[in-house]
Amino acid sequence: MQIENHWLTQARPCPSPFFNERPSDEVSLLVIHNIALPPLTYGGNAIEQLFTGCLPLDNHPYFKTLEGVEVSAHLLIQRTGELVQFVAFDKRAWHAGVSNFAGRTQCNDFSIGIELEGSDNQPYTQLQYKQLVLVTKALIDHYPLLNKDRICGHDAIAPGRKTDPGRAFNWSGYKQSLQALLS
């Protein structure tokens, strides 16, 4: 995996309008999320439509609950392993919301958000884990303040408010694969 001008060359670009400048150049945290639109439904382009502000609210009753929502992540890893990038890594994507990591609030200011197409209680695919490990290594190699100890789930920075990536996420397998690649 390669990063050029803060874009992953292996990802399909799908620029989101939902980002802004970081208050500093710091990138020191990786936050792992999940998303399925509608819930428990995979495939299609609803996630891309949400992150680009083009979600047709009348296509599904659940979509009406997202009216006016402006949200983005830096990267989506689909169940097929396809990578889609919405925001350059040096920009502030709107993925963490009210959050706190190690006593610091406003995690969007210093984090990268990766969405896995999935749900809290359904297993992720091996292709997703493989891509996540490769992307994580590329990010650690590119951003010197990011390391294997500064990776967490959305639930860790927004406890009680968020649950993703959920119980189905294999943290030990992911961390072991990442460690093997970093060694």
Q: Please give the positions annotated as active site.
A: 115
92/19 Cα distance (integer angstroms): 5
Find how far residue 141's CA is from the centre of its chain: 18
176/162 Cα distance (integer angstroms): 25
Instruction: HSE, CB side, 13 Å, CA atoms: give it for residue 45.
Output: 7
Contacts of 159 (CB under 8 A, 6+ apart): none
